[in-house]
Structure 1
């Protein structure tokens, strides 16, 4: 369930020592997510972080609002470090992602000199450690994981993470595939089609398939159950309630209900139709050209593997993207997976555009 109050310390003063060791005039505080200037400054910091780490920036204020808006703060907390002129120079955000797993955003302005940047980084990590203890205690845990990401080429971030006790645990390929207009015919109809006894369809909407109504709850629960079952043995998988799952996915700036698909198969013995796979997609908006589609989640139950469920779902989102005039479909692949999961993506035309890493630290709660 989504808690009425989040599990973090909302006042930075309760999570940091009285003197955090910053230069005279520098302050630590919680940002005002309703202040447009603050949101724009955080977006500027985020874009600078992306440019330094991968060579280009893609985020904007929508990505920041996921972290700092009133809705986002149900499961998150934020802190900023301001210089004597009141300019935000560092930003930290923690997300109570699932039981035992806390995500951390850690960004320090590239324009700050090295000594002060080091201290800002240390303050963010000290604050995150305190937040890990708070959320872990609220969940009744003995150990709380902090999970943060870094671009593979960001050596400054790597050095800070290693010095703060984090360990690199995973590498991820961020992949993209171009889409041609003719691929709108890749499947008969992205809304519903069938191949070899497998039905691929959008989640049903209240009021019918052409309605803008909310999706059928039974379909949404089927998507959640498929993904929970498909990812049980995957790296760092953590159980997530249905309410947490829906709340988190709806926060995505690219969220669209008409980008959620189910794959169903009929039981040979009973004839009953059962969910076998699911794909949750979203929109990747572009300010300079066509939008793209993104595969946020793709899961197939073990009992249905080998029946072309995954490839069918991927063909569906490609055809859907082409029909909408989009020029690409993106996704993330676990580069360290022993299953060779990337094979289907490379075979269908995906290539790696940049690489990210997961870094973890386990914090004792008591």
Structure 2
């Protein structure tokens, strides 16, 4: 890390995050979440992935603000795939340290670190593109929106969190001929990764997931392979579609509902129009119900090009929360 790149807020001591910080880092996020009540927030397993990342080494891409007792009160980090045209920014400020200018100082760090990342590794093999920084927020968090607006960010996309109560009849999951449902297991991990990258190559903002990222996805502590399903082509054994699910017991306590969450749902282009997505969702609902869940949930891009929003609505999903993606060209 360039030692001159730090946060312009002298009330805290600033340094990069390390593996030894994971527990305290998670505690900072949890303290903030207890006040702001986000739909989801990162836990120790997620942060452990960040400090072990080869693509985004923490020494260059994280910053930690500690008080005089060594307690973390704020952090920021960026994540960027090599050659990508955008970086993603993340961060939070301890509720007791908000409204002091820490957030604005972190925003300046995020922007400058993004500029340097693009200088070190230009987008798309060296094309002259302005660095793009993207930050996500939930619609309920107006203080974050005000900060981003004042910093020159603009909302470029909306996403809906949708719930489907499981006390209603589950739709049929009949597949067309030549397709079959299969359980998700380690033998299918790589095939599903390849199918996912193919299925999402026409989705806004999506980038291919490499082996490192995918390993963490399928082995996440909250991942539920028993609630996940793959659709195979009976003739070729190729993956035609998939539904990867998770369950967070802590969120169940926080929100008062047990939800089976569809992390990823995808159908490869050549198999679309054959009812695969509907079959996968119906199968997920049955699995969630058998596991004692109250609702099936997922997130969807409000402008998804595959018509996913219409499908989810038809199957009984209803929007319960909205989040936004904010962009700024630097």
Runs (5+) with no aligned partner, structure 1:
1-8, 188-192, 206-214
Tell me whether 1:34 sits opposite 2:20 in the alignment: yes
CA positional deviation for 1:176: 1.5
C-alpha separation between the residues in 2 aligned to 1:71 and 1:22?
Answer: 24
Residues 43 and 59 of structure 1: CA distance in aligned 2, closer, same or farther (over 3 Å): farther
| Aligned counterpart, 2:5 | 15
Q: Which residue, out of 207, 221, 224, partners 1:238?
A: 207
Alignment of 1:1-366 (within 5 A): 9=1, 13-16=3-6, 20-23=7-10, 25-35=11-21, 38-48=24-34, 51-52=35-36, 56-57=37-38, 63-68=43-48, 72-76=52-56, 77=58, 78-97=62-81, 99-100=83-84, 101-112=86-97, 114-126=99-111, 128-130=113-115, 132-133=117-118, 136=121, 140-142=125-127, 143=129, 144-180=131-167, 195-197=175-177, 198-203=179-184, 205=185, 215-216=186-187, 219-241=188-210, 243-250=211-218, 252-266=220-234, 271-286=235-250, 288=253, 291-337=258-304, 339-363=306-330
Cα contact 1:181–1:322 (8 A) shared by 2: no
The answer to which of 290-299 and 307-316 deviates more is 290-299
Residues 36-85 of structure 1, C-alpha deviations (whole Å, 9 max, x = no match): 7613532334415xx43xxx34657x624412457644444222222344
CA positional deviation for 1:96: 3.4
C-alpha separation between the residues in 2 aligned to 1:281 and 1:113?
Answer: 35
Identify, as 1 or 2, the structure richer in strand: 1
CA positional deviation for 1:156: 2.2
Residues 252-271 of structure 1, C-alpha deviations (whole Å, 9 max, x = no match): 441233344221235xxxx5
Residues 156 and 136 of structure 1: CA distance in aligned 2, closer, same or farther (over 3 Å): farther
Residues 33 and 130 of structure 1: CA distance in aligned 2, closer, same or farther (over 3 Å): farther
RMSD across aligned positions (CA) = 3.2
Secondary structure of the 1:326 match is: coil
CA positional deviation for 1:276: 1.6
Residues 342 and 85 of structure 1: CA distance in aligned 2, closer, same or farther (over 3 Å): same
Secondary structure of the 1:255 match is: coil
Residues 177 and 75 of structure 1: CA distance in aligned 2, closer, same or farther (over 3 Å): farther
Cα contact 1:147–1:360 (8 A) shared by 2: yes
TM-score (norm 1): 0.74
Count of residue pairs brought into register by the alignment: 319
TM-score (norm 2): 0.81
